[in-house]
A and B are shown apart, each in its own frame.
Chain A
Amino acid sequence: MTIAPTLVAPPDTRRLFAAPGPSLAQHRETYGDLPVDVDLPDLVEQAGLLGRGGAAFPSARKLRTVASRGNGVVVGNAAEGEPASDKDRTLLTVAPHLVIDGLVLTARAVGARRAYLTTARPEIARQLRTEVRRRRDRLRIEVVEVEDRFVSGEESALVNALNGRPGVPSDRLTRVWERGVDRRPTLVHNVETLAHVALLARFGADWFRSVGTPEEPGTFLATVGGAVSAPGVFEVPYGASLTGLLDAAGAMPARAVLVGGYHGAWVPGSALDSTRMSRTSLAPHGASVGAGVVAVLGRDRCGLVESAGVAAYLADQVAGQCGPCVNGLPRMSDALSRLADGSRDPRLVDEVQRMRRLVVGRGACAHPDGTARFVASTLRVFADEVAVHLGGGCSAAAAR
């Protein structure tokens, strides 16, 4: 384990944002040079690092798989198609060199000579190109702009875009770690995952594990928005209390909080006090930390109306390839919207339930499953609201 002698590891939970600014000089001053001999797969495994892009897949497993196949390619993923998420953009703005460090270390570990950084934002792409040019890495790093849509960041969609094809997901029978960019084994890591790699390569697995929970070690970036006075990106340890995070963002009294993004689930207002940002605490709600999105629904808003808006967005983001998703998501969203808009036909609830069951597992990517999860949560958490709507009312209208 390599720990730079004169360097002090960032204390407590301000790890990713510890530098005073984004420049290479400020980065080096804060974190020191890139360590040279690191056994990255072992270190990442000891640290228990989980992917920060949403699926929380063990990073070491991906790393070893691509390393064992050889001749690989590494991709840093900041596509961030989730509209409620801002953490990848923020991280790249504040600490681009942590991400680039992680990319360089990962490429070394898998023997890749080429790497990509992908973003949907032109201004981030420009900044990254500038920062990449300032460095003297032997790795060839290309910054690529991808389309700004919900499914752009899905691994195979990203690989397709890098291969010059439409950036939509492929069938899952062939995985990108088998055949990806230029048909080579491809390792796709979220940019926040890469930044954590850069830190734990310097300060070690024990330091990494000193915050968070044993199952989910370390910190993660949460984007807190909605009914809050200070929306933004916060670095917190896994297992942090949800209310602590809400307080930090100045949340108003909440009817419910959406955790894990548009493919996530609602935590009802009554459960906020007892909820922590961990797998076990969120599981009963059908939610997970995911990519760290926390969206607050104020007491003056209607959960059904807001959810119908999200479902309509998700139906609109269908890539257009898979029949059940192409047909099922709009049908599900239409029925939910009609309920939200005041139609008093109770068969609409059955139609929503039938559609969400019908689409699960029947697409190339997780878009139908994630949308179905969100809609299931909506009907569960806002069951009373559905009843109010079927009776011709809306509790948001009553709150005004």
Chain B
Amino acid sequence: MPRLHVDWTRCDGHGLCADLLPEVLTRDEWGYPVSRSPDGALDVDRSLREHAERAVDMCPLLALTLVR
């Protein structure tokens, strides 16, 4: 399954990704994206692939990648 990768050295916590992909991501108390899954996984289901790609494209800091 493809998964999201966050480049934490770039991420500034804008939060667009969590808005665009609420099924996978929420935001922590500082605004940084965090997995909704208790194990911290950022797996992206096939049905959410387009939303994930949009989140990747929209990230203002190019901090998000869809891996594999």
Q: Is B49 an interface residue (CB 8 A)?
A: no
CA distance A169 to B10 in the complex (A): 12
* A323 lies within 8 A of B5 (CB): no
Residues on B with C-beta less than 8 A from A321 are: 8-9
Instruction: Please give me the residue from chain A that is nearest to B31 by CB atom.
Output: A323
Interface residues in B8-44 by Cβ distance below 8 A to A read: 8-13, 28, 30-32, 34, 40
CA distance A362 to B5 in the complex (A): 10
Q: Which of B7, B28, B40 contacts A364 (CB 8 A)?
A: B7
* B6 lies within 8 A of A362 (CB): yes
CA distance A360 to B34 in the complex (A): 11
Q: Is A378 an interface residue (CB 8 A)?
A: no
Known: A173-B65, A360-B40, A361-B40. A323 touches B7 (CB 8 A): no
Instruction: Please give me the residue from chain B that is nearest to A358 by CB atom.
Output: B28
Which of B's residues lie within 8 Å of A, judged by CB? 5-13, 28, 30-32, 34, 40, 65, 67
Interface residues in A156-183 by Cβ distance below 8 A to B read: 169-171, 173
Known: A323-B13, A358-B34, A362-B34. A173 touches B40 (CB 8 A): no
Majority DSSP secondary structure for residues of B touching A: loop
Which of A's residues lie within 8 Å of B, judged by CB? 169-171, 173, 321-325, 327, 358, 360-364
* B34 lies within 8 A of A322 (CB): no
* B34 lies within 8 A of A171 (CB): no
CB A9 to nearest CB in B, in angstroms, measures: 46
Residues on B with C-beta less than 8 A from A171 are: 7-10
CB B11 to nearest CB in A, in angstroms, measures: 6
Instruction: Please give me the residue from chain B that is nearest to A359 by CB atom.
Output: B28
CA distance A88 to B7 in the complex (A): 31
CA distance A358 to B5 in the complex (A): 16
* B32 lies within 8 A of A362 (CB): yes
* A324 lies within 8 A of B7 (CB): no
* A364 lies within 8 A of B9 (CB): yes
CB B55 to nearest CB in A, in angstroms, measures: 16
* B9 lies within 8 A of A325 (CB): no
Residues on A with C-beta less than 8 A from B12 are: 323
Q: Which of A322, A327, A360, A361 contacts B9 (CB 8 A)?
A: A322
Residues on B with C-beta less than 8 A from A361 are: 40
CA distance A169 to B9 in the complex (A): 9
* B65 lies within 8 A of A362 (CB): no
CB B31 to nearest CB in A, in angstroms, measures: 8
* B32 lies within 8 A of A323 (CB): yes
28 contacts between A and B (CB under 8 A): A169-B9, A170-B9, A171-B9, A171-B10, A173-B5, A173-B7, A321-B8, A321-B9, A322-B8, A322-B9, A323-B8, A323-B13, A323-B30, A323-B31, A324-B8, A324-B28, A324-B30, A324-B34, A325-B8, A358-B34, A360-B40, A361-B40, A362-B6, A362-B8, A362-B32, A363-B8, A364-B8, A364-B9
CA distance A342 to B61 in the complex (A): 43
Instruction: Please give me the residue from chain B that is nearest to A171 by CB atom.
Output: B7
* B7 lies within 8 A of A327 (CB): no
